[in-house]
Structure 1
Amino acid sequence: MKIKNSNIGYPRIGENREWKRVLELFWSDQINEEQFNNEMVKIRLSHLEKQQEKGIDLIPIGDFSYYDQVLDTAVMFGLIPERFKNEVQNVTLKTYFEIARGSKGKVAAEMTKWFNTNYHYIVPELEHAKPRLLENRILSLFQEAKEKLGINGKPVILGPITLLSLSKGYNEQQKAELLHSLIPLYLEVFNQLKDAGAKWIQIDEPILVKNVEKDLINEFKEVYTVFHEGLKDVNIILQTYFEKIEFYEEIIQLPVQGIGLDFVHDDGGNLEQIKKHGFPSDKVLFAGVIDGRNIWKANLVEKSTLLSTLTEFIDEERLFIQPSCSLLHVPVTVKNEHYLDTQVKNGLSFADEKLEEVVLLTNFVNKKISVTELDQHDHSIRSLKNSAHRNVKDVKEKLKNLKSFSATRIDAAERKELHENRWNLPILPTTTIGSFPQTKEVRSQRLKWRKGELSNDQYEEYIKKEIKKWIEIQEELGLDVLVHGEFERTDMVEFFGEKLEGVAITKFGWVQSYGSRCVKPPVIFGDVYCLENMTVKETVYAQSLTKKPVKGMLTGPVTIVNWSFVRDDISRVDVLNQVALAIRKEVEALEENGITMIQVDEAALREGLPLKEEKTEDYLNAAVYAFKLATSSVNDDTQIHTHMCYSNFDDIIHAIDALDADVISIETSRSHGELITSFEQHHYNKGIGLGVYDIHSPRVPTLEELSQNIKRALEVLDYRAFWVNPDCGLKTRGEVETVEAIKVMVKAAQIYREKLNTVSI
């Protein structure tokens, strides 16, 4: 019997972001629900058909989503936040999107990162939850694939234990009750799929790769024993990814027919466990050997050696070859990247190419092709490694001599006094995070410039006009510290990727970040350095228009690295320090040109946290050092700001402090200020802005909401350290709602400022 292959999940956005386009047409009422569903069916089927044509044996069904797979699972089982519930049995499409995006009078559900990836999921809220199966959406998708394409696919569902682990709003007793309520509902879904002809069902339980307690393993034994006893004649795959699994010996004894392991991001741990403990003779191993999270070609000769090692412990008929995780995290295809450097392009592998690599490996181990063909595939990897891109002498010399670059400043309290004397800002100073709305006109003008329809001078004049307009708006609104608006920037990381040497920007390399928000992560392919100023011109122009301080806006090294596809031939820490030195050069250039309030955003610092606790300290130490390397060469009276996204910071509050930024702003609005409790346990003596309203939702917050958020923060924080700001940049919002929201924010700050001044008097 030959070795087969499988796929875990496929990007939903499409080669040209067709999925995003249809979503946004529906949200803007340009198409109705029937048209929306019809278009989505076409996109969904085209993805399945492509996998079929490439030769994938087990094609995932149910990985396609209208927004997020965690939200899909929660809604399917009736786990709806109280504020969105109604008398209707099934959740309407309107309600589904309201949970994710919010609506008038209803705050959206919290959004946070999916493990340590750059994808973000909607957090289920389980307070007062009573699970029930509203609709078996996976059954409908399975039948659709079977009837329309003849594909007997592999249904995919998020497992119950991971689902609960990623949720909020329950205690341990309630968790046990919820789990027991969910088990029969899952079984009902599985049995309906079996009756429809499903042979394999993939249950994603990535929670198993985190540092879990033994109690959780006992839950797995209980749940999967019930699944085994209640489900006959269908095979269950317990699928994990992103790291090695914990409690390997116990997990491989669970009553399932297949286990999926990541052999790329496990640091060799899963292979070592197989070598030490073996693998059960009654189970199939789904071996994730092709990197599903990065975009470099796999060294297939090396991968074939790995597979050969695995076959020493596992019979070939019990081995499936697949990517390490869902391909949701990489772009769709390299084939349209006609403008990339040839050596770089030839070294890339996106989702479609990764499936081709899976099939190549399958054919090799089944003796359909020779090792020569694998070696031909690997030639481009060697070519890039030996290229000038990866051998820049000056960069390598600087890395060897990092100790010659200062990474410390004088005490924060001394700096604070200098800053207060310099700017004399009011208490509760108001500002924004950096970007203002990128309207259709802004995007249109940029596109015309890129196409050569606008000259550099014409485009620059247009950007100046937008900067001037928004400086005037900010002054009229009464903001205390202004920004230039970032109208010249496509994305906070992509913009710097275009400016830095050793970094490439793809044309179609889009991946989903959250909802319809897609980003093009830069490709760090070589040694990173900076040849010329990147942000000085626009910032200096903005400052010339006002007497109020204008912040210089930069993206920090940790975020650039965490939101990029990073070369894999040297250590990630070395790449991080290369980027830090490049940003340091820009910080110095801003200061030399009179910009002395500089924000270096580290929105993704927490997103890079390792899944294993034993790796956390090394990561945070490297992140803190890189930030300080980038920001510590300024004068004492220059104020350094930073910004971070998403709210779960309890476990890294010491690292936030260690960054030694003068002012930090943090997103908190979607979590209803839960982050504030972190500061009840940890004294923080620097400036801080806990985002007072959610920019991810189009709704304008009320004065009451913002006042409550400020009040809650001031119960914990010293008012002299507190800044008032939105929780993130305003790039994705409309102009009218942005102005109205800031107007409310400034009003709320003024009310509390007056209260505090009265008390002080």
Structure 2
Amino acid sequence: MTILNHILGFPRIGIDRELKRAQENYWNNKISKKKLLKIGKKIRIKNLLTQKKMGLNYLSVGDFSWYDHVLNTTMMLGNIPKRFLNNVKKINIDTLFHVARGVSHNRESTFPSEMTKWFNTNYHYIVPEFNEYSTFNFSWNQLFLEIDEALLIKKKIKPIILGPMSYLWLGKTTSKNFDRLKLLPKILNIYKYILNYLHEKKIKWIQIDEPILSLNLSQLWKKKFIYSYNFLKGYSNKLLTTYFGNISHNLDIINSIPIEGLHIDLISGKYDLLTFNKNLSNQILLSLGIINGRNIWKSDLLKYFNLINNFKKFRKNIWIGTSCSLLHIPIDINKESQLNKKLKSCFSFAIQKCYELFLLSHALNTGNKSLIKKWILPLYYKNFLLNFNNKNKKNLFIKEKKYFRKNNYNIRFKKQKNKLNLPIFPITTIGSFPQTKELRKLRLNFKNNIIDKKKYESKIFSIIKKNIKEQEKLNIDVLVHGEPERNDMVEYFGENLNGFLFTNNGWVQSYGSRCVKPPIIVSDVSRIKPITLKWIKYAQSLTKKPVKGMLTGPVTIFLWSFSREDISDLTIVNQISLALKDEINDLEKNNINIIQIDEPALREGLPLNDDEKKEYLDWAVNSFKLSISEVKDTTQIHTHMCYCEFHDIIQSISELDVDVITIENSRSNDNLLMYFKNFNYNNSIGPGFYDIHSPNIPSKNTIFRLIKKSLKYISPEKLWINPDCGLKTRTWKEVKKSLYNLVYATQKLRLEQKN
């Protein structure tokens, strides 16, 4: 038996973030559509040639996207919300960008579709919209275009499509009480057309992603799953692809549908492989996801060689692959010229993960283990290079009472009201202000020693002063310093804590053109010195209004970093919590009476399988509470969360016991507020009345209407007014106008409440 290798997808941003720059230049009318399309094609061809060079047996096609792959599917199925079809003669790439970002027509704006997290990752997708009037027709031939490109490479290719059941699951209904499953027959007809086209192209294998098989599905959804794949039987071989968790509980579906292959994620899934294999039809090819697609450490290839070598006698047809798409990790470790060589040898980015698959399949097929032994040598001296000996171990044995503040919210609310003396409907922003070219250049010049620390800090202070003045002009009630010193909300804190390592080019796509550069946790985490105090103290000295202290929470720092795989999550996150606790205490001692601790990743870490959720939520909530456990009742603690499904963690959000939570509701049509109301959430909420991920400027009337609507769910004394996220990606022109409208609408409502 020959064991073949493949990946589930390759990063699409380009090795130097060419896609990001092309997108943003196109949106700003700096390049033509023709130039944009040319750059996209160049990235795709390079990705295919890289896979070929690294020794992959099947090249993945269809993993490229102009914004995100779910939106690609929406376009392909012709499921475009009607508001984007006015005066549109032909659906094209502009339609895709309008759905993702919204569009302005003279004075009117068309709001974009909702955006949320892709399962338990920091990748975002544009949410499909469904109602009883939804129509479907094949409208976007991007996949077919990419297949024709790939066939010229003269190598076996494997097209990737998002499966019909996962696509339906990931969407939202815009009509009350409408069952989206009623749309399934219409969708399946388009899938049938696509599969027939691929069959006619003589393509042997098609990867159909159905990640919802890791979830606990209802009997109705299971029944529809079986119906769907029986409807689509025939055509090319289907590799049903699952990831982000174990699917053993849904094996009844797998054994009831006509598929030729199944991919499982052995990294996140924690399978008992022999038991799983016994219960799986022997006719199905089994693809084993053994190379971690979500972390950057080298794989222990010898461990997987032994596992698969022992296992292959139980199944006649095996492939090996990545656990999931490689879009969640950086592209090439060889772009990192400044890393310590020994540390660098411990890491494996997307290109190196492809090579790991070649090395492992070569060893399994030939029996020669010399290459894999050489590859994994750094893993054996990693523990000598990196410390994780819990210098503050005694602090990690935390008593349960340490997780709780002194008094409950109702008592704190009264004390904070007297202390802060804020007006009804207090107005604030989430933290960051526009990161201009000049500001980015300033930070780069400091990093490259072109300017000294004194000059750099002087410039940062002047930007903070400008930010405070602008907010006072606008009549905002609770101010922020604007975060000009921060490159990224996680990277900045990592740079100021012990235990983190940083790359120069380790970029990962978060959504659209937005990329992040996650730090790497390599050893014990502790605080060296105050991180934010200098900047916040200065900002507070400029105004009589309260200025928020701005921190990133422990769970988000942990989840948005590449963490050690040989240390428990709880140990690492509690070390981060203790470091932040010191920072919070310092801010409080210096009369910073409002402190915001952002936790946008809290929902993201939630395992897909119901049986594993409680354990995660318990330690995640406790780690946050540990960081704020010593603050005074008069210190108002805020947190911010965005772009995720809150309904299944609403209990945990309540247990965080923050005084104010700000959320993203601007694209959610009040669904999020409904969850909070139905739960009887008692603490204060800022729903977010300005969608900062769109270039559209919300009008005064639109904001006023949204605020009035939110009062159906939140009592006036508990309602905060704010944008739905930080403003770093917007221009000052957009920000000033939008915030002016936000303040105007709020003041109008205050007058109305008085009368």
TM-score, normalized by the shorter chain, greater than 0.5: yes
Deviation at 1:275, TM superposition (A): 4.4
* Deviation per residue, 1:54-97 (Å, 9 max, x gap): 11011111111111110011111110011001465641221110
Cα RMSD (Å) of the superposition?
1.7
Aligned pair partner of 1:180 in 172, 176, 185: 185
Match of 2:295 in 1: 294
Match of 1:349 in 2: 348
Deviation at 1:186, TM superposition (A): 1.0
Deviation at 1:364, TM superposition (A): 0.7
Name which of structure 1's ranges 513-522 and 398-407 shifts more when overlaid on structure 2: 398-407
Match of 2:261 in 1: 258
Is 1:591 aligned to residue 595 of structure 2?
Answer: no
Match of 2:111 in 1: 107
Match of 1:26 in 2: 26
Deviation at 1:679, TM superposition (A): 2.7
Q: Aligned partner of 2:364: which letter?
A: V
Is 1:236 aligned to residue 234 of structure 2?
Answer: no
Is 1:200 aligned to residue 205 of structure 2?
Answer: yes
Match of 2:91 in 1: 91
Match of 2:473 in 1: 476
Contact 1:385 1:569 in 2 (8 A): no
Q: Distance in 2 between matches of 1:173 and 1:470?
A: 46
Q: Distance in 2 between matches of 1:173 and 1:749?
A: 34
Deviation at 1:101, TM superposition (A): 0.6
Match of 2:129 in 1: 125
Match of 1:323 in 2: 322
Q: Check 1:50–1:480 CA distance in 2 against 1; reply closer, same or farther (3 A cut).
A: same
Match of 1:220 in 2: 225
Name which of structure 1's ranges 111-120 and 398-407 shifts more when overlaid on structure 2: 398-407
Match of 2:376 in 1: 378
Aligned pair partner of 1:158 in 141, 156, 162: 162
Match of 1:358 in 2: 357
SS at match of 2:121: coil
Q: Aligned partner of 1:133: which letter?
A: F
Q: Distance in 1 between matches of 2:501 and 2:658?
A: 29
Q: Distance in 1 between matches of 2:547 and 2:599?
A: 19
Aligned pair partner of 1:651 in 648, 665, 675: 648
Q: Distance in 1 between matches of 2:213 and 2:713?
A: 36
Q: Distance in 1 between matches of 2:750 and 2:176?
A: 38
* Deviation per residue, 1:11-33 (Å, 9 max, x gap): 00122111111111111111101
Q: Distance in 1 between matches of 2:593 and 2:206?
A: 58
Contact 2:101 2:694 in 1 (8 A): yes
Q: Aligned partner of 2:164: which letter?
A: P
Deviation at 1:409, TM superposition (A): 2.5
Once the two structures are superposed, the pairs formed by residues 295-314 of structure 1 within 5 Å of their partners are: 295-314=296-315
Deviation at 1:454, TM superposition (A): 1.1
SS at match of 1:285: strand
Contact 2:84 2:95 in 1 (8 A): yes
Q: Aligned partner of 1:243: which letter?
A: G
Q: Distance in 2 between matches of 1:375 and 1:404?
A: 48
Contact 1:436 1:729 in 2 (8 A): yes
Aligned length: 748
Q: Distance in 2 between matches of 1:332 and 1:415?
A: 48
Q: Aligned partner of 1:749: which letter?
A: T
Q: Aligned partner of 1:300: which letter?
A: L
Contact 2:386 2:522 in 1 (8 A): no
Contact 2:245 2:607 in 1 (8 A): no
Q: Distance in 2 between matches of 1:252 and 1:604?
A: 35
Name which of structure 1's ranges 619-628 and 480-489 shifts more when overlaid on structure 2: 619-628
Aligned pair partner of 1:555 in 541, 552, 555: 552
Contact 2:494 2:519 in 1 (8 A): yes
Q: Distance in 2 between matches of 1:549 and 1:250?
A: 57
Match of 2:46 in 1: 46
Deviation at 1:481, TM superposition (A): 0.5
SS at match of 2:729: coil
Taking only the aligned residue pairs, the percentage that are identical comes to: 43
Contact 1:143 1:196 in 2 (8 A): no
Q: Distance in 2 between matches of 1:178 and 1:77?
A: 12
Match of 1:210 in 2: 215
Deviation at 1:389, TM superposition (A): 2.4
Q: Aligned partner of 2:354: which letter?
A: L
Name which of structure 1's ranges 474-483 and 382-391 shifts more when overlaid on structure 2: 382-391
SS at match of 2:626: helix
Q: Aligned partner of 1:30: which letter?
A: K
Contact 1:647 1:668 in 2 (8 A): no
Deviation at 1:670, TM superposition (A): 1.0
SS at match of 1:693: coil
* Deviation per residue, 1:524-575 (Å, 9 max, x gap): 1211111111101111010010010001000000111121111111111111
Aligned pair partner of 2:431 in 408, 429, 434: 434
Once the two structures are superposed, the pairs formed by residues 508-523 of structure 1 within 5 Å of their partners are: 508-523=505-520
Match of 1:116 in 2: 120
* Deviation per residue, 1:595-616 (Å, 9 max, x gap): 1211111111111111112222
SS at match of 1:664: strand
Deviation at 1:215, TM superposition (A): 2.2
Name which of structure 1's ranges 252-261 and 119-128 shifts more when overlaid on structure 2: 252-261
Contact 1:562 1:604 in 2 (8 A): yes
Deviation at 1:212, TM superposition (A): 0.8
Q: Aligned partner of 1:327: which letter?
A: L
Q: Distance in 1 between matches of 2:269 and 2:513?
A: 30
TM-score normalized with structure 2 length = 0.96
Match of 2:638 in 1: 641
Q: Aligned partner of 1:296: which letter?
A: W
Once the two structures are superposed, the pairs formed by residues 715-726 of structure 1 within 5 Å of their partners are: 715-726=712-723
Contact 1:434 1:729 in 2 (8 A): yes
Match of 1:541 in 2: 538
Q: Distance in 2 between matches of 1:540 and 1:605?
A: 28
* Deviation per residue, 1:264-314 (Å, 9 max, x gap): 110225x2542442x433221111111111111111111112212431321
Q: Distance in 2 between matches of 1:575 and 1:703?
A: 45
Deviation at 1:223, TM superposition (A): 1.5
SS at match of 1:202: strand
Deviation at 1:403, TM superposition (A): 5.8
Contact 2:18 2:39 in 1 (8 A): no
Match of 1:285 in 2: 286
Q: Check 1:254–1:675 CA distance in 2 against 1; reply closer, same or farther (3 A cut).
A: same
Q: Check 1:348–1:612 CA distance in 2 against 1; reply closer, same or farther (3 A cut).
A: same
Match of 1:82 in 2: 82
Once the two structures are superposed, the pairs formed by residues 402-417 of structure 1 within 5 Å of their partners are: 405=402, 407-417=404-414
Q: Unaligned 5+ residue runs, structure 1?
A: none
Match of 1:387 in 2: 385
SS at match of 1:30: coil
Match of 1:448 in 2: 445
